[in-house]
Amino acid sequence: MTLKSYFRDVRIGVIGGTGLYSLDGLKFVEEVTVETPWGLPSGAITIAETPDGNRIAFLARHGPAHHVLPSEVNYRANIAALKAVGVQVILAFSAVGSLREEIQPGDFVLIDQIIDRTKGVRGDSFFTGTGVTAYASFGEPVSRALRSLVAQRSDSVPNITVHSSGTAVCMEGPAFSTRAESNLYRSWGADVINMTCIPESKLAREAEITYAIVCMATDYDAWRESEESVTVAEVMKTMKVNAANAKALLLAVLPDIEQAVYNDPEMALTKPEAGSMQYAFQQAPDKQSSSGRSTLSFIFSNYF
């Protein structure tokens, strides 16, 4: 596709997860289908206009009708497509199970750490198969600055409890965990569990996009002896309330993110990620595969 001229200025992207398939309260502009070197994303990207007149991009992670399983989401295409329309910051949303008594269904958690329990079946690097080697830094998988913006603004949203940090386990799925697994993750210090934050967060980092994910607790997974283990019915029931709260939180925090990406000459919000791959490449440019360089230029117009 030919990218329209305004796309370079669509700096904010939102990824909706289970139960969050569209945005409310913003003016619809258009839907765009972006083909990437890694294939097609889960669906069309919706471009919407904020009350401040900026355009943002929305993508439903599993597709608008949730037709794609977490292991089968083309995370590379999703992130590459958002990057192609200009996105520098992604605020993602995810339905998660709670591994802690104090994180109740309905609570939101701004995770700062992730334990990867996916099983190697997901395309998890833009560099795989390109003949170009690069190693992203991922010790802090989520943007501290974006988390803190969301945490601060969440005070203005009624009826939500937001935990400002936490560790997520990302499991393979689609079947939920056994009780033994759920207890194992608790013993590791994990607070919530989902099936999608890996490789989404890792690919955002490779693409130098500032990324945070709002984890919305829907259930107590499988660890509580006194309760039935999680079911989809339970997740969807809680997500009805969570989705409304997520939309309210997004509308509340958007002006702050817009201010940070359009009006801060220092670009403090995106600074840690922008340019972070600069020293991650191993080979001298003349030793990199030229077809790989051409593929990667789709997301790294600055390096290739």
Annotated binding site for phosphate: 18, 61-62, 94-95, 196
Query: Which span sits near ligand ADE by CB under 6 A: 34-42, 79-87, 192-200, 258-266?
Result: 192-200
- Work out whether strand 45-49 and strand 27-32 pair parallel, antiparallel, or are unpaired: antiparallel
Measured from the CB of residue 215, what is the shortest distance to ligand ADE in angstroms? 9
Sign of the dihedral defined by the CA atoms of residues 147, 75, 39, 129, in that order: positive
For the chain, count helices (H), then strands (E). Answer: 6, 11
Task: Report the residue number, 84 or 193, with the smaller CB distance to ligand LNRAV4D5.
Answer: 193
Per the annotation, the verdict on 221 as an active-site residue is yes
**Residue 232 partner contact from ligand ADE, ligand LNRAV4D5, none using kind-dependent CB cut-offs of 5 to 8 Å:** ligand LNRAV4D5
Among 127, 176, 223, 300, binds ligand ADE (CB under 6 A): 176
Measured from the CB of residue 278, what is the shortest distance to ligand LNRAV4D5 in angstroms? 31
Q: Is 73 in the site for ligand ADE (CB under 6 A)?
A: no
**Are 302 and 281 a contacting pair, CB within 8 Å?**
no
Measured from the CB of residue 96, what is the shortest distance to ligand LNRAV4D5 in angstroms? 7
Instruction: Give the residues lining the site for ligand LNRAV4D5 (CB under 6 A).
Output: 17-18, 61-62, 70, 94-95, 173, 194-196, 232, 235
Q: Which residues contact 145 (CB under 8 A, 6 or more apart)?
A: 210, 260, 268, 269, 272
Q: CA of 189: how far to CAs of 115, 125, 141, 166, 168, in Å?
A: 10, 27, 17, 9, 9
Task: Report the residue number, 7 or 176, with the smaller CB distance to ligand ADE.
Answer: 176
Per the annotation, the verdict on 52 as an active-site residue is no
Measured from the CB of residue 170, what is the shortest distance to ligand LNRAV4D5 in angstroms? 8
Query: Among the options 219, 256, 264, 286, which is catalytic?
Result: 219
Element (H, E) at 253: helix 232-262
**Are 50 and 14 a contacting pair, CB within 8 Å?**
no
> How far is 190 from 184, CA to CA, in rounded Å?
9
Adjacent-strand bridge partners of 275 = none
Q: Is 200 in the site for ligand ADE (CB under 6 A)?
A: no
Task: Spell out, one character per residue from 214 to 253, where the chain touches ligand ADE: x when CB under 6 A holds, - when not.
Answer: ----xx-x--------x----x------------------
Adjacent-strand bridge partners of 219 = 97
- Catalytically active residues are 219, 221
